[in-house]
A and B are shown apart, each in its own frame.
Chain A
Amino acid sequence: MSFVTVRDVWKSYDGRPILERVNVDVEEGEFISIVGASGCGKSTFLRLLLADELPSRGAIRIEQGHRAMEPNQERGVVFQRYSVFPHMTVRDNIVAAESFGTRSGWFFGKRLRGARERADETLARIGLSHVADNYPATLSGGMQQRLAIGQALTAQPRILLLDEPFGALDPGTRLAMHDFLTELRARTKMTVFMVTHDLTEGFKLGDRVLVFDKPRWDPHDPGAYGATITYDFDARDEGIPFQTIKEKTHVPVSA
């Protein structure tokens, strides 16, 4: 039994199909990279996994559980921007990952001190100790994304969803973030879905690379059909992109 099961998922907006017949099984601990043309529905797919939006048809389950109706603690997320709370210090952003699940959203006294200590350990691990008391606006883009990832992981989600998390970073910072993420994953064995525009990044980090594309194309009405997973590459072994195709593709080779 696979860990995350996506079964015959369709999604349309205002009757316009964006995704159609998406099927995929993901094992626990796998790192899935998602690539595809701009506007083909990668973020939409991620929002479906997140349960921020519900599929028009089909179902997404984690460990055969219930279909989620809204985002919850099982799913962590990091967006390209706006992923941390601007009105909280760096440390409080990490503490919030623990305290938000409580009734009032606040920790007091001993619990607060405990959470702060754990937050400081997390910050030391992600290299943000020296800015613990700063507000996110004073951090560089790479530091903000490190904070966002640290925050998401503090809540101990079962799957981590990343939507172009390094899209706004310069190439050098990107490489540093790759190392950061690789090391983090080696430690947590988290199941990750990451949307990226950078194929190299996708193959470098991912165990599998899913390609979203439209299998059918109506030249008179480009919006007539939705996108689906057209390729599912095995990206292990240094991510050399001409690996065996693991699953059957949904398109004839001529398409």
Chain B
Amino acid sequence: MRLINRRPSRPVAVLLAALPFVLIVIAYMIGSDLRLAANPQDKLLPAPSTIWDTAVRLFTEPDKRSGRILLWADTGASLRRLALGVGIAAAISLSLGVLIGLLPYARRLLSGFVAVISMVPPLALLPILFIVFGLGEVSKVVLIVIGITPFLTRDLSQRVLDIPHEEIVKAQTLGASTLVIALRVVLPQILPRLISAIRLALGSAWLFLIAAEAVAADVGLGYRIFLVRRYLAMDVILTYVLWITFLAFVIDWALKRLSGKAFPWMGAGL
């Protein structure tokens, strides 16, 4: 039988999916063991048990000075920035995408501009943002917005253009105005695309968030990681990294569920 036609059975499939994770954990454990055997004070690869103890402490024990559990405070602050940034970017790109995709005048005016803007590396703008908006929340949110809006806009305007011309003509023969076409034909069909585009952009959004927090913040997941780096607190960093990964995964999964539930007409199209 050809390799392309061989399919794993269910248990084998589960095993295969778990394998890379298991391998990486084993590799880490071996590395950690070797280093700790050579030097019990080694901080670079803390033992899994140490990480676990640290994680429990981080999730449950309040900070002595502020009385807050720092990890939750960091998580709350970071998720708020992320939600604001992504939400604002989604609103802007949805409006721009519909305008560019639907109106030839807006297309002429904006599509070249957006294409050029999307080439600007957002992180290079970070100093400017700090100067203009200060070191507070605004600059971090704005970085996320600037970072992902061009991508979202280009993707969405293309999706609008992909709507069959027949549908737009049909709507016109039913007497629909431009506004009605935008609101009742284009927008509902674009929303599931928006969600899949956001899922793609979330990776960048996290990147911009953590970068901004690393440079200037007093709370946030990225801030904490870069703060404890000074003490080489690998157990804390690793806990935070795993936590961020988990959060990103849950958000992605939730968005996927949402688009499946909210847009039943898409069928298996997502």
Contacts and interface: CB of A to CB of B under 8 A. Distances in A.
Interface of A: 50, 52, 70-73, 75-77, 79, 81-88, 96-97, 100-106, 135-138, 148, 151-152, 155, 157
Given A82-B167, A100-B180, A87 B263 contact: yes
Interface in B151-199: 164, 166-167, 169-177, 179-180, 183-185, 188-189
Contacts of B40: none
A106 B188 CA distance: 13
B217 to A, nearest CB: 42
B104 interface: no
A152 B167 contact: no
A101 B175 contact: yes
A105 B179 contact: yes
Interface in B251-270: 263-265, 267
Contacts of A84: 170
A135 B267 contact: yes
A85 B174 CA distance: 12
A100 B184 contact: yes
10 contacts: A75-B173, A79-B170, A82-B170, A85-B170, A85-B185, A100-B184, A101-B176, A103-B179, A105-B180, A151-B170
A87 B183 CA distance: 12
Q: Which of B164, B170, B183, B184 has the most CB of A within 10 A?
A: B170
A77 B185 contact: no
Contact of B180 (A104, A136, A155): A104
Given A105-B183, A105-B184, A73 B174 contact: yes
Contact of B169 (A50, A86, A100): A50
A86 B265 contact: yes
A105 B175 CA distance: 9
A70 B172 contact: yes
Interface string B42-56: 000000000000000
B268 to A, nearest CB: 9
Determine the main DSSP class of B at the interface with A: helix
Contacts of B172: 70-72
Interface of B: 164, 166-167, 169-177, 179-180, 183-185, 188-189, 263-265, 267
B189 A86 contact: yes
A157 B189 CA distance: 26
Nearest to B188: A87
B170 to A, nearest CB: 6
B175 A72 contact: yes
A210 B147 CA distance: 57
A143 to B, nearest CB: 15
A100 B267 contact: no
A157 B166 CA distance: 17
A82 B173 contact: no
Nearest to A76: B173
A8 B183 CA distance: 39
B267 A137 contact: yes
B33 to A, nearest CB: 56
Contacts of A96: 174, 184
Contacts of A50: 169, 173
Contacts of A72: 172-173, 175
A79 B173 CA distance: 12
A73 B167 CA distance: 14
A155 B265 contact: no
Contact of B177 (A88, A103, A138): A103
A87 B173 contact: no
Contacts of B180: 100, 102-105
Contact of B166 (A82, A135, A137): A82
Given A81-B166, A106-B184, A157 B173 contact: yes
A82 B183 CA distance: 18
A156 to B, nearest CB: 10
B170 A77 contact: yes
Contacts of B184: 96, 100, 105-106
B1 to A, nearest CB: 35
Given A79-B166, A82-B167, A97-B174, 13 more contacts: A52-B169, A71-B169, A73-B175, A75-B173, A83-B167, A85-B185, A100-B175, A103-B179, A105-B184, A106-B184, A155-B173, A155-B175, A157-B173
